[in-house]
A and B are shown apart, each in its own frame.
Chain A
Amino acid sequence: MAGRDELFAALLQLADDHLILGHRVGEWTGHAPMLEEDLALTNLALDLLGQARAIYAYAGQVEGEGRDEDKLAFLRLELEYRNLLLVERPNGDFAHTILRQFYFAAFMKPWWDWAAVNSTDETLKGIAGKAAKEMAYHVRHCGEWVIRLGDGTDESAARMRAAVDALHRYTAELFTDTPAFKACVDADILPARDSIRPAWDATVRMVFDEARLDVPEVPFPAQGGRDGLHGEEMGHLLAELQYMQRTYPDMKW
């Protein structure tokens, strides 16, 4: 049985993943290699922020202490953010951004699919129904780019291989359930993260095969985001993300 504290903690971890990645992808707005891709990346970011907002709003209700989605998103300290390290990685070049998004979406799509059908929590079930459909677009769009770049020119292939080398070691954390997640798994609220492994492996292998990329062995996976242990770049991200609320507390649009 998942108690209130455990559900709240799991929701926060989940929402943080989406907020931080949404912010990262949003950094591309106005900077993408071409107009269509600028629109695409902005749309992907918007999906993630919308999902984050819905999850934070629900987390605030569960906590029951009057914190709304804005307070949870903007007014916590770095150590209190419990997102995956993968999602806070800097954008790097376009290949890095696309691959990071592909890794994340290839996990979230089947994870949400399970929750949309099986979750015993009606609110999460609703959020999942919407998010699963949106993440299908992310998998397809980013998967197509991984193939185009990996099986493209010498330059694009080299960049995609460099992105795989840099980011693959952050993917193990996708499959690790924290105690809060485990409590929600036991209550049939959320799917076990390691149960998504076969689906994720299959999607990544299918796309990598077409992209002529190898799935690397990772002897030392990077973990720590769920404990609040972030990379140096996280502080820079939060400085920008939280600027308005820190400067003008409780400001509204």
Chain B
Amino acid sequence: MAQAAGIRSLDDARAWAAAAAVPDPEVPCVTVADLGILRSVEIEDGVAVAKVSPTYSGCPAVVAIELAIEAALREAGFEPRIERVMSPAWTTDWITAEGREKLRAYGIAPPVNASKSKMALFGETVVNCPRCGSPDTHKVSEFGSTPCKAHYICKACAEPFDYFKCI
């Protein structure tokens, strides 16, 4: 969990647990903590302050995610406040190992490389099919159903699938 080191009290821990359990509205198999977009939750002067990083500048889910975290904190008995954190910019490197596995099981290929690896301007990556595991896949489009995904098809089992882009 991203903020284990920052937890100073039982209330901090409870507030984090409540916010961390909120599912992503577009990809409900993973939580906001799995994706690494929930940066921290801390109690400041009686207010639970949750820091959230958007995945893409234009991600339409940003507001829905913030509202859901706010509601979850309120439900758990806290007075919530959401802060949108732009810097440092969110990266797919922050998706937890558990989050990656949940994505794969859900049928979305998790990001392949660390975001700083070669990934040159016209670089190619091998994406394994989340269904059969074959590396023999073809990129149909750099862009998919949401800003964070690309569209692939598996040449081995013919499954069309989403790939969570590495940024």
Contacts and interface: CB of A to CB of B under 8 A. Distances in A.
Interface of A: 36-37, 39-40, 42-44, 46-51, 53-54, 116, 122-123, 125-127, 129-131, 133-134, 136-137, 139-141, 143-144, 203
A184 to B, nearest CB: 17
A131 B57 contact: yes
B73 to A, nearest CB: 23
Please provide the 8 A-B residue pairs with the shortest distance between their CB atoms, ordered closest to farther: A50-B58, A126-B86, A126-B87, A129-B89, A50-B57, A36-B141, A46-B58, A40-B143
B135 to A, nearest CB: 21
Among B60, B89, B91, B165: residue with most chain A CB under 10 A: B89
Contacts of A43: 143, 147
Interface in B108-144: 115, 121-122, 140-144
A138 B1 CA distance: 33
A43 to B, nearest CB: 4
B78 to A, nearest CB: 26
Contacts of A137: 142, 165
B86 to A, nearest CB: 3
Interface residues of B, number: 26
Nearest to A54: B57
Contacts of B142: 40, 137, 140-141
Nearest to B55: A130
Interface of B: 54, 56-60, 85-91, 115, 121-122, 140-145, 147, 151, 165, 167
Contacts of A50: 56-59
B57 A47 contact: yes
B87 A140 contact: no
A48 to B, nearest CB: 7
A48 B142 CA distance: 16
A46 B56 CA distance: 9
Contacts of B122: 140, 143-144
Interface centre among A125, A126, A127, A139 (most CB of B within 10 A): A126
Contact of A133 (B54, B141, B167): B167
Contacts of A136: 121
A38 to B, nearest CB: 9
A249 to B, nearest CB: 22
Given A39-B141, A133-B167, A140-B121, A47 B58 contact: yes
Given A47-B56, A143-B122, 19 more contacts: A39-B144, A47-B57, A50-B57, A51-B58, A53-B57, A122-B87, A123-B86, A123-B87, A125-B87, A127-B57, A129-B86, A129-B88, A130-B54, A130-B56, A130-B86, A130-B89, A130-B90, A131-B57, A140-B122
B91 to A, nearest CB: 8
B86 A54 contact: yes
A99 to B, nearest CB: 17
Nearest to A43: B143
Contacts of B151: 36, 39
Nearest to B89: A129
Nearest to B86: A126
A134 B142 CA distance: 12
B58 A48 contact: yes
A126 B56 contact: no
A139 B121 CA distance: 8
Contacts of A203: 121
